[in-house]
């Protein structure tokens, strides 16, 4: 029996954007292999390849068929994986490149957003036994029709985590162009701090609230199978951030991070007659057109009329607005308005469960800085406020200063 560690490493598109970077990644992999590990590397398409392929497709058809789209897009990772395997071999270490289908990544049939159903990984184990470094084309699998499927944008993260679970790896390392997970966006708040550790729950909450380091689905899978993830830099050897299960030794921190998100818009329907079942009627109509409603606020005014506001992703605004207007007419409600100039700022931390007064302190901090709160939403480990988009960075700065430093 081997006592080697098994490590799955994932390198994103910018880490292999050109030949020199591919060579640098190869060097790093070989160094790690020399420390007596079995290494499987998941790689994304080089640089802008994915965007370029997508552009080709959309120049041919406004609605390219999903099946052929997957076949097209998967070629990007096939290219980067074969080149990376060549680069590893050129450094004198045996390696093998495998496509998702060759790895035995079986998915369901939903093209462009397939779900992994099972991974055999036999070829990877065989390659480990032959002391080879394995390079895997990320983001892709095979469905039962023997057709190539892809896992959606950011799918290489999912390939890496799922593969780490299948191989019973010790850790899944996600290499990226930042040094790890930060308390907030370092481009917007200079005092942003790199976190040493963060729990799966906190990371999920931060990802859903705007932090863009890792794909949320991958974190969910890692959480489910308790696979620790190490998010670290492709360009430095510094330790990054461990995403892991909360253990009793970890200090419970009230606020781990501050995030922002400008992808939502607000719809308001004014002067709605205040009768039972009206909200249900409205949100049924909106969800029927496929728009995801998030925060909802209802103000009952005098005269038994109320205003209802809710947020939807900006991409769903047109259809949601149309559906709302139709309902408003039926209900004989007032005007329907929309506002794209909103932003969500959030504070996230599992310590919130036990710490009192986080919400109050957040509202106070914003008020003191003349930032108006339009809507509020809370979860067990986060509090979000909808504010004017122009004040996003200021809000992040003052909240970071108030809670983190």
Point out which residues bind a copy of itself (CB under 8 A).
19, 22-23, 53, 56-57, 59-62, 64-65, 67-69, 71-72, 74-75, 78-79, 81-83, 85-87, 89-90, 96-97, 99, 102, 146-148
In whole angstroms, how close is the CB of 165 to a copy of itself at the nearest point? 23
Structure token pair of residue 28: 């790093």
CA dist., res. 27 & res. 21, Å (int): 10
- Helix (H) / strand (E) containing 176: strand 171-176
In whole angstroms, how close is the CB of 150 to a copy of itself at the nearest point? 12
In whole angstroms, how close is the CB of 11 to a copy of itself at the nearest point? 15
Cβ 220 vs Cβ 204: under 8 Å: yes
At which residue do the structure tokens 């040493």 appear?
196
Tell which residue, 35, 178, 13, has the closest CA to residue 84.
13
Tell which residue, 295, 258, 208, 294, has the closest CA to residue 394.
258
Nearest residue (CB) to a copy of itself, 42 versus 371: 42
Phi–psi pair at 30, nearest 5 degrees: -65, -40
In whole angstroms, how close is the CB of 40 to a copy of itself at the nearest point? 16
CA dist., res. 86 & res. 93, Å (int): 10
DSSP 8-state symbol, 182: B
Cβ 227 vs Cβ 161: under 8 Å: yes
Nearest residue (CB) to a copy of itself, 71 versus 279: 71
Nearest residue (CB) to a copy of itself, 19 versus 360: 19
Nearest residue (CB) to a copy of itself, 83 versus 347: 83
In whole angstroms, how close is the CB of 148 to a copy of itself at the nearest point? 8
H helix intervals, 235-316: 278-288
Cβ count near 71 (within 10 Å): 16
Nearest residue (CB) to a copy of itself, 150 versus 397: 150
In whole angstroms, how close is the CB of 19 to a copy of itself at the nearest point? 5
Nearest residue (CB) to a copy of itself, 110 versus 299: 110
In whole angstroms, how close is the CB of 122 to a copy of itself at the nearest point? 11
Per-residue exposure over 197-206, b if at least 16 CB sit within 10 Å of its own CB, e if not:
bbbbbbbbbb
- Cα 91 to chain centroid distance, Å, stands at 34
The CA angle 394-388-287, to the nearest 5 degrees, is: 130
Phi–psi pair at 384, nearest 5 degrees: -120, 145
Tell which residue, 128, 199, 114, has the closest CA to residue 169.
128
Q: What order of strands is seen across the sheet that includes strand 171-176?
A: 95-98, 133-137, 37-43, 5-11, 171-176, 229-233, 241-244, 197-199
Cβ 93 vs Cβ 112: under 8 Å: no
In whole angstroms, how close is the CB of 175 to a copy of itself at the nearest point? 19
Nearest residue (CB) to a copy of itself, 97 versus 178: 97
Nearest residue (CB) to a copy of itself, 91 versus 279: 91
Nearest residue (CB) to a copy of itself, 69 versus 295: 69
In whole angstroms, how close is the CB of 7 to a copy of itself at the nearest point? 22
Residue partners of 73: CB distance under 8 A and separation at least 6: 45, 50, 53, 54, 139, 140, 150
In whole angstroms, how close is the CB of 291 to a copy of itself at the nearest point? 28
Nearest residue (CB) to a copy of itself, 65 versus 357: 65
């Amino acid at each position: 029996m081997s006592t080697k560690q098994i490590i799955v490493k994932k390198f994103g598109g910018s880490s292999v954007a050109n030949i020199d970077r591919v060579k640098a990644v190869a060097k790093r992999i070989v160094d790690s292999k020399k420390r007596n590990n079995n290494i499987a590397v998941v790689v994304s398409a080089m640089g802008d390849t994915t965007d370029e392929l997508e552009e080709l497709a959309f120049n041919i058809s406004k609605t390219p068929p999903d099946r052929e789209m997957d076949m097209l897009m998967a070629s990007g990772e096939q290219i980067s994986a074969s080149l990376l395997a060549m680069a590893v071999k050129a450094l004198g270490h045996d390696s093998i490149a495998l496509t998702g289908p060759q790895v035995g990544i079986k998915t369901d049939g939903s093209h462009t957003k397939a779900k992994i159903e099972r991974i055999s990984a036999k070829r990877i184990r065989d390659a480990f036994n032959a002391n080879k470094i394995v390079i895997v084309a990320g983001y892709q699998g095979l469905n039962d029709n023997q057709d190539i499927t892809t896992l959606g944008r950011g799918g290489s993260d999912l390939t890496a985590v799922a593969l780490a679970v299948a191989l019973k790896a010790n850790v899944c390392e996600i290499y990226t162009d930042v040094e790890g997970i930060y308390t907030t966006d370092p481009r917007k708040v200079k005092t942003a701090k790199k976190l040493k550790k963060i729990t799966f729950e906190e990371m999920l909450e931060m990802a859903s609230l705007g932090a863009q380091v890792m794909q949320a689905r991958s974190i969910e899978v890692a959480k489910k199978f308790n696979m620790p993830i190490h998010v670290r830099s492709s360009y430095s050897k510094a330790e990054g951030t461990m995403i892991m299960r909360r253990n009793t030794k970890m200090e419970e921190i009230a606020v781990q991070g501050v995030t922002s998100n400008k992808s939502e818009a607000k719809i308001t329907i004014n002067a709605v007659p205040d009768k039972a079942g009206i909200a249900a009627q409205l949100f049924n109509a909106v969800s029927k057109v496929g728009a995801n409603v998030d925060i909802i606020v209802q103000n009952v005014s005098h005269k038994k009329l109320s205003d209802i506001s809710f947020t939807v992703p900006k991409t769903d605004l047109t259809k949601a607005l149309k559906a709302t207007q139709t309902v408003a007419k039926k209900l004989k409600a007032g005007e329907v308005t929309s506002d794209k100039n909103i932003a969500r700022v959030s504070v996230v931390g599992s310590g919130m469960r036990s710490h009192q007064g986080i919400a109050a302190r957040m509202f106070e901090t914003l008020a003191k800085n003349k930032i108006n709160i339009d809507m509020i939403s809370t979860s067990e480990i986060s509090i979000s406020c909808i504010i004017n988009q122009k004040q996003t960075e200021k809000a992040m700065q003052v909240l970071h200063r108030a809670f983190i430093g």
